[in-house]
């Protein structure tokens, strides 16, 4: 029943603020508060940095707890102990404990993300992890993940996204992200837009804390943009474990980040790019691949810049867009529209294209990529469309 109670909260949406979550965190006994953490904020690349950081620390014998969002198919993907997904029964028990301590004195009910973050901390405490790697949700200043005890902060690329919650300029968004800086806790950042970098330096001086921009290094994940992500992950991991080397990043796997799957004569490419900036990175990566007849299957949430996403993909292939109410997907402009992931003829057309040596790229939304993995590639379970993140 705990999972039902969790997903029932999807209708609450995003609820910024820390008073309610800190109230329950305190009632839980502040699980995981004595465990050093790497806190990862930003817009694009947070998950990749988190995956590489955790992999490097685990390679050096650290017992790791990894918290990421959103998931592709299973909510248990978000919470991992030493690289393994938390078991359903363990997560359900942790969720149940969190919900038992939600009391009437709180200013409001906990959101989906707040419940899950608190449950992750319970799991980490019970599992005896000695380091936590936590990816923030969509913000920073009011993000639930601020309850971790950060000994290093990673700043992924800051771009326009979630403007309704974070502000409609890069400067405002950067300020929300930089609000997680902590006194004397080092911050490692990828290269940023000039106005973002200015905000970061000002925040670092005011906190105060050291701010570094590590030089890019070879990355285990595909795409030129991953070189800067790898450098940040390495620097953060080394801060918590001095024995870490660049070799410890090797072998990192993170699904749907320019993930290529050969099938017959053709291939599928899965990528969770979901805003104009990440779509531009995806487009650059696609143009660097061997030439193939390419179909891009995409879609976006209603609050995204669909026109900007479509512009970023222009010139990389034919654009087919999925409009699917259950998955919260609207169509991109200037695209051939299919009504739903299970639209008649869609799967058959995609498989035929791949069998004939073509490339199918699925992007635009975690939910769409997760559905593609299940519906078109028969990989795991279909995602739960009720998950708001």
Q: Which residues pair with 362 in a beta bridge?
A: 270, 297
DSSP H helices, the chain, are 2-7, 19-27, 46-59, 88-100, 112-127, 163-166, 170-178, 194-206, 226-240, 276-287, 306-313, 346-355, 366-375
The H or E element spanning position 361 is strand 359-362
Q: How far apart are CA 381 and CA 74, in angstroms?
A: 8
What is the strand order of the sheet 294-298 is part of? 259-263, 266-270, 359-362, 294-298, 318-323, 336-339
Residues 113-133: b if buried by 16+ CB within 10 A, e if exposed? bbbbbbbbbbbbbebebebbb
- Residue 216: other Cβ atoms inside 10 A: 17
Contact criterion met (CB below 8 Å) for 52 and 229 = yes
d(CA 195, CA 212): 16
pLDDT at 298: 96
For residue 303, count other CB atoms closer than 10 A to its CB. 13
Residues 359, 295: Cα–Cα separation, whole Å:
6
Give the tens place of pLDDT for each residue, 68-99: 999 999 999 999 999 999 999 999 999 999 99
Q: Is the pTM of this model over 0.85?
A: yes
3 state SS of 113: helix
List the pLDDT tens digit at each of the 389 positions of the chain: 578 888 888 766 666 678 899 999 999 999 999 999 999 999 999 999 999 999 999 999 999 999 999 999 999 999 999 999 999 999 999 999 999 998 777 878 899 999 999 999 999 999 999 999 999 998 888 999 999 999 999 999 998 766 655 777 999 999 999 999 999 999 999 999 999 999 999 999 999 999 999 999 999 999 999 999 999 999 999 999 999 999 999 999 999 999 999 999 999 999 999 999 999 999 999 999 999 999 999 999 888 889 999 999 999 999 999 999 989 899 999 899 999 999 999 999 999 999 999 999 999 999 999 999 999 998 877 766 555 44
241, two tokens: 């474990």
Question: How many Cβ atoms are within 10 Å of 326's Cβ, its own excluded?
Answer: 12
Helix, strand or coil, per DSSP, at residue 209: coil
Q: Which of 281, 273, 282, 266 is nearest to 368 (CA)?
A: 273
């Amino acid at each position: 029943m705990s999972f039902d109670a969790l997903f029932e909260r999807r209708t609450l949406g995003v609820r910024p603020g820390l008073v309610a979550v800190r109230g329950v965190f305190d009632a839980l006994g502040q699980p995981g508060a004595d465990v050093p953490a790497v806190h990862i904020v930003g817009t694009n690349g947070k998950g990749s940095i988190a995956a590489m950081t955790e992999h490097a620390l685990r390679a050096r014998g650290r017992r790791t707890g990894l918290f990421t969002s959103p998931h592709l198919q299973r909510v248990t993907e978000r919470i991992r102990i030493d690289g393994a997904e938390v078991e359903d029964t363990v997560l359900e028990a942790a969720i149940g404990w969190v919900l038992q301590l939600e009391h009437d004195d709180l200013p409001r009910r906990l959101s989906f993300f707040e419940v899950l973050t608190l449950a992750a901390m319970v799991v980490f405490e019970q599992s005896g992890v000695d380091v936590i790697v936590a990816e923030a949700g969509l913000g920073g200043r009011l993000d639930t993940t601020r309850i971790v005890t950060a000994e290093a902060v990673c700043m992924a690329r800051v771009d326009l996204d979630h403007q309704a919650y974070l502000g409609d300029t890069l400067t405002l968004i950067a300020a929300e992200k930089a609000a997680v800086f902590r006194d004397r806790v080092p911050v490692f950042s990828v290269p940023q837009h000039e106005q973002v970098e200015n905000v970061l330096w000002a925040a670092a001086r005011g906190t105060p804390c050291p701010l570094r921009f590590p030089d890019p290094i070879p990355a285990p994940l595909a795409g030129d943009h991953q070189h800067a992500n790898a450098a940040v992950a390495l620097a953060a991991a080394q801060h918590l474990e001095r024995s870490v080397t660049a070799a410890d990043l090797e072998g990192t796997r993170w699904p749907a980040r320019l993930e290529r799957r050969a099938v017959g004569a053709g291939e599928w490419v899965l990528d969770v790019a979901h805003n104009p900036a990440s779509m531009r990175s995806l487009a650059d990566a696609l143009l660097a691949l061997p030439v193939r007849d390419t179909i891009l299957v995409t879609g976006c949430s209603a609050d995204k810049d669909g026109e900007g996403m479509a512009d970023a993909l222009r010139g990389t292939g034919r654009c087919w867009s999925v409009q699917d109410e259950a998955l919260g997907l609207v169509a991109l402009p200037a695209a051939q529209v299919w009504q739903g992931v299970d639209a008649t003829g869609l799967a058959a057309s995609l498989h035929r294209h791949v069998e004939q040596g073509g490339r199918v790229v699925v992007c635009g939304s975690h939910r769409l990529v997760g559905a593609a993995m299940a519906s078109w590639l028969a990989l795991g379970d279909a995602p739960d469309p009720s998950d708001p993140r």
